[in-house]
Chains A and B, each alone.
Chain A
Amino acid sequence: QKEVEQNSGPLSVPEGAIASLNCTYSDRGSQSFFWYRQYSGKSPELIMSIYSNGDKEDGRFTAQLNKASQYVSLLIRDSQPSDSATYLCARGDMRFGAGTRLTVKP
C-alpha cells in the first residue's frame, strides 16, 4: 500500500461544476497535508495546506481533512478550464501521492 493514495483519474468536469479530488493516507499519526497543482510541463505549486480536522476554505478551493478516516480532499467550486492540471496530495513528511489529472471542459 502506498503511503499516500490518489485516484490518477483523469477526472473530467464541465465548466462551472464542483471538482472533488480525494486522497487517503496510511499513517494515522500524520498531522499536516498539502495540495499542489501542477500544470503540464511545469513545477508543483502549493495551493492549500490543512492541519486540523474539518474544512479550510480559500476562494474557490476547500480542503477537507478527516483524520479518523485518514482522508483528505480538495473541492474546487465553479471549476474553470484554467483549473485543468494534475493535483498532488502531500503529507507533512514530504510523501506525495501520484496525482489526479483534472480536465475542466468549457
Chain B
Amino acid sequence: DARVTQTPRHKVTEMGQEVTMRCQPILGHNTVFWYRQTMMQGLELLAYFRNRAPLDDSGMPKDRFSAEMPDATLATLKIQPSEPRDSAVYFCASGSVGIAGAYEQYFGPGTRLTVT
C-alpha cells in the first residue's frame, strides 16, 4: 500500500526554535510538494520539487523557511527561527506530471505544528 509518510506527526516547540519536518514520497513519484493549511488561509502551496530540483518556492517565507530534497526518498522543510504564526498543519504530497502538465497529488498525513 503505497503512501506518503511524514514525521513527526505532531510538534510543539517554543518560539525561536528550529523545526524540521520530513517526508518520504511514494516510490516512483518524481515530484514533491509542501503545503501549509490553516483555518484562515486554507491550503497554501509553499514549494515543490521535480526530480529533486526546486521548481517553485515562491509561497515560502524565504527568511525563515527552507526546503530541500537530499535524495529521492526524503524531502525536508525547515523553519528557523519558528514563530507562533507558523502554527499550522504542514502537508507533504507527491505525484508525477500527467495530462496537461498537471499533477494528481497524494498527500501525507501531515505534521501539526504548534509554536508557543
In the complex the two chains form, what is the Cα distance from A42 to B103 in whole Å?
20
Which residues between 43 and 90 of chain B lie within 8 Å of chain A, taking CB atoms? Answer: 43-45, 48
CB-contact partner of A96 in B42, B106, B109, under 8 A: B42
Number of A-B contacts (CB under 8 A): 51
Q: Does the CB pair A95–B42 fall under 8 Å? A: no
Indicate whether A32 reaches chain B with its CB closer than 8 angstroms.
yes
Interface residues on B, range: 10 to 19
Q: Apart from A46-B104, A46-B105, A49-B102, what are 6 other A-B pairs with CB-CB below 8 Å?
A: A43-B91, A88-B43, A94-B33, A96-B43, A96-B44, A97-B42
A interface residues (Cβ-Cβ under 8 A, vs B) = 31-32, 34, 36, 42-46, 49, 51, 88, 92-99
Q: Does the CB pair B108–A34 fall under 8 Å? A: no
* A88-B43, A98-B42, A99-B42 known; A34 vs B99 contact (CB < 8 Å): no
Q: Does the CB pair B43–A43 fall under 8 Å? A: no
B110 to chain A, nearest CB (A): 5
* A95-B45, A99-B42 known; A43 vs B107 contact (CB < 8 Å): yes
Q: Does the CB pair A43–B109 fall under 8 Å? A: yes
